[in-house]
Chain A
Amino acid sequence: MAGLPLRAEYALVIIGAGPAGMAAAIRACDLGVSSILLIDREPEPGGILNQCIHNGFGLHWFKEELTGPEYAERFAEQLAKRSITLLTDAFVMEVDSNRRVAVLSAKTGLVVVSAAAVILAMGARERTRGAIRIPGDRPSGVLNAGLAQKFVNQLGVLPGRRAVILGSGDIGLIMARRLTLEQVEVEGVYEIMPHANGLNRNIVQCLHDFGIPLHLSTTVVQIHGRDRLEGVTVAPVGPDRVPQLVHARYIACDTLLLSVGLIPENELSRQMGVALDPVTQGPVVDSRMQTSLAGVFACGNVVHIHDLVDFVSAEGTLAGESAARFIQGESVAPDAIRLRPGAHVRYCVPHSLSPGRTQTVYLRVDQPLQRARLKIGPNEAKVLRYAFPAEMISVRVIPPALEAVPTSLAGTTTVDRTASQVIWDVEVHADE
């Protein structure tokens, strides 16, 4: 098999061959990085895209509307044309402080490879029943919506016959439709917040189209069933999101799908000692997608949860480029500007910027706003017709906006972020 046995050293090791990792590998290869090892735990590249068989992907990147698998296949084709070593069905156990990567797979056994640079592209995991502490029995039939999606779309089994879905995010809505089209009865979608979480397009095409009710300000308060799920109790919640049990009601069902949030998958990052942002739960990254550890970069859902895979591809491309430059010994000045989330901004990525080039800042607001002004530091970057927490905002910051920053930091070689950085607040102001 091509690429085996593994070498003792690679210039670049990328952990995760989803859209982020694939984009990074392609870019790094095209910039001349000589040996690239791309590792994934699945039998093939593509990441979560392989199970996202609905469309809506690629409107920005390819100017076409594609399904997940189509988007993934385009990148996989580019990957196959280059001499990138792809190791699938493989699990990275550990990365130490010298960037030695311990990887385990049936094909290789446990092997340790050295890397001049590492890119973290592990994506995200789903929030579980345990994490949101739904009381009750622990029968089978309670599973995350993303896992149900894999069952139905790749493994060819239905999760059950009568489902309740908790969470009105897009994964829950998409699965409401998917199950209905496969003749599973979807009793309803329940959402603890007073507003739906997913795209209006999905509310219409996944719920309205099939007459599936959406119950807002309602949550599951108990799970019933000994071996198999038999039913759930739901109850409305007040403005404090505390369930009003006096109004609880029982719903018979054999399947409960949970769509209650995605969390960047940073077990490895934590183990490595990479600094994490507590709001995103992903690595703190600079304008080159480098983490707090020199030579370790990150991109995609592992940094922050994205809405559009097109932005993931852009981030992956940037990380691949930065890793290539690092490997080739280019010295770069550390970012001179630290970005600090301010009014109405939950977080922004990257966490710092540099003067002298165009950079893209991604951010999310903490509540719905209309006709608002986005300010990055001293400059008003954008007027927003609307801003919603569920829709990530991206804004290009162009060099002239950074002229006010002192250039005396150029040429320093240490990765010392905290010293001598100008702080720019990133704020969104609603029109009064």
Chain B
Amino acid sequence: MSEMRSSFKATYLCIGCPVGCQLMVDLPEGADDLVVSGQQCRRGVDYARKEHRAPERFVTASVRIQGAAWARLPVKTQQPVPKESVVEVCRLLREVSVEAPVVAGDVILANVAGSGVDVVATRSLTRSLPCADLKAEAADVGM
């Protein structure tokens, strides 16, 4: 169980449904657990607690690929990673370059940023000529 942050009121927009309740989280004196208010259903309580204690996110991004129809291979983390590691995950992915062919599900970066989660390809790309070659004109905005 991760350590709870020091008690302060925090608000979160619930993502459970389009109603979008403003959830308020507090740890009052003598309370056993975080108190959540502002929810219209149970899902909001669980969500707010998780967001407050240990928020996590899936990361979906793309990496450089050579020898394929497209210049980028889309990837994702297999599981969510801690929210605070998202930027580091993307920084690590910027250093990756893979070579076609790639099969959907191939591990591109194992245990990314020490999270225990692998980054995998979300599509297959065979070896082929590029559909378009923008590199020659895109010197300072190439990825």
Question: Known contacts being A67-B60, A154-B70, A157-B142, is A390 close to B76, with CB within 8 Å?
Answer: no
B72 in contact with A200 (CB, 8 Å): no
Which of chain A's residues have a CB closer than 8 A to the CB of B141? 157-161
* Interface segment, one of B1-9, B28-36, B61-69, B106-114: B61-69
- Nearest CB on B from A289, distance (A): 27
A203 in contact with B13 (CB, 8 Å): yes
A69 in contact with B72 (CB, 8 Å): no
A199 in contact with B132 (CB, 8 Å): no
Which of chain A's residues have a CB closer than 8 A to the CB of B138? 157
Which of chain B's residues have a CB closer than 8 A to the CB of A386? 17-19
Is the CB of A182 closer than 8 A to any CB of chain B?
A: yes
Which of chain B's residues have a CB closer than 8 A to the CB of A370? 19
A156 in contact with B134 (CB, 8 Å): yes
B123 in contact with A73 (CB, 8 Å): yes
Which of chain A's residues have a CB closer than 8 A to the CB of B59? 181
Taken together as a complex, chains A and B put the C-alpha atoms of A54 and B75 apart, in Å, by: 9
Question: Known contacts being A157-B141, A182-B143, is A152 close to B62, with CB within 8 Å?
Answer: yes
- How many residues belonging to B are interface residues under a CB distance threshold of 8 Å? 37
Taken together as a complex, chains A and B put the C-alpha atoms of A414 and B71 apart, in Å, by: 52
In the complex, the chain A residue whose C-beta lies closest to that of B89 is A181
A200 in contact with B74 (CB, 8 Å): no
Complex interface bits, B8-22 against A, C-beta within 8 A gives 1, otherwise 0 = 000011110111100
A154 in contact with B18 (CB, 8 Å): no
- How many residues belonging to A are interface residues under a CB distance threshold of 8 Å? 37
In the complex, the chain B residue whose C-beta lies closest to that of A44 is B69
Which of chain A's residues have a CB closer than 8 A to the CB of B131? 43
In the complex, the chain B residue whose C-beta lies closest to that of A72 is B123
Which of chain B's residues have a CB closer than 8 A to the CB of A159? 141
Is the CB of A204 closer than 8 A to any CB of chain B?
A: yes
Complex interface bits, A378-397 against B, C-beta within 8 A gives 1, otherwise 0 = 00000000101011000000
Taken together as a complex, chains A and B put the C-alpha atoms of A55 and B77 apart, in Å, by: 11
Is the CB of B43 closer than 8 A to any CB of chain A?
A: no
Taken together as a complex, chains A and B put the C-alpha atoms of A397 and B18 apart, in Å, by: 24
Which of chain B's residues have a CB closer than 8 A to the CB of A43? 69, 131
Per the 8 Å Cβ criterion, residues 95-126 of B in contact with A are: 104, 122-124
B18 in contact with A156 (CB, 8 Å): no
B143 in contact with A204 (CB, 8 Å): no
Interface residue from A158, A205, A391 paired with B143 (Cβ < 8 Å): A158
B15 in contact with A204 (CB, 8 Å): yes
- Nearest CB on A from B103, distance (A): 10
Taken together as a complex, chains A and B put the C-alpha atoms of A201 and B18 apart, in Å, by: 9
Which of chain A's residues have a CB closer than 8 A to the CB of B18? 199-200, 386, 388, 390-391
Which of chain B's residues have a CB closer than 8 A to the CB of A66? 122
Is the CB of B90 closer than 8 A to any CB of chain A?
A: yes
Taken together as a complex, chains A and B put the C-alpha atoms of A200 and B64 apart, in Å, by: 31
In the complex, the chain A residue whose C-beta lies closest to that of B65 is A156
B122 in contact with A156 (CB, 8 Å): no
Per the 8 Å Cβ criterion, residues 28-74 of A in contact with B are: 43-44, 50, 53-55, 66-67, 69-70, 72-73
- Nearest CB on A from B60, distance (A): 5
Which of chain A's residues have a CB closer than 8 A to the CB of B57? 205, 209
Taken together as a complex, chains A and B put the C-alpha atoms of A72 and B122 apart, in Å, by: 10
Is the CB of A2 closer than 8 A to any CB of chain B?
A: no
- Nearest CB on B from A59, distance (A): 13
In the complex, the chain B residue whose C-beta lies closest to that of A387 is B18
Which of chain B's residues have a CB closer than 8 A to the CB of A70? 104, 122-123
In the complex, the chain B residue whose C-beta lies closest to that of A89 is B131
Which of chain B's residues have a CB closer than 8 A to the CB of A157? 71, 134, 138, 141-143
In the complex, the chain A residue whose C-beta lies closest to that of B12 is A204
A155 in contact with B72 (CB, 8 Å): yes
Complex interface bits, A208-245 against B, C-beta within 8 A gives 1, otherwise 0 = 11000000000000000000000000000000000000
- Nearest CB on B from A166, distance (A): 21
Taken together as a complex, chains A and B put the C-alpha atoms of A199 and B19 apart, in Å, by: 10
Is the CB of A153 closer than 8 A to any CB of chain B?
A: yes
Which of chain B's residues have a CB closer than 8 A to the CB of A161? 141
A154 in contact with B13 (CB, 8 Å): no
A-B contact pairs, 11 of them (CB 8 A): A67-B74, A69-B74, A153-B72, A156-B143, A158-B143, A161-B141, A181-B90, A200-B20, A204-B13, A209-B83, A391-B18
A-B contact sample (14 more), CB < 8 A, given A156-B142, A208-B13 = A55-B76, A73-B124, A152-B143, A153-B72, A153-B74, A157-B134, A158-B142, A158-B143, A199-B18, A203-B20, A209-B83, A370-B19, A386-B18, A391-B18
Question: Which 6 residue pairs of A and B lie closest in terms of their CB atoms, listed nearest first?
Answer: A156-B71, A69-B123, A53-B74, A201-B15, A158-B141, A200-B20
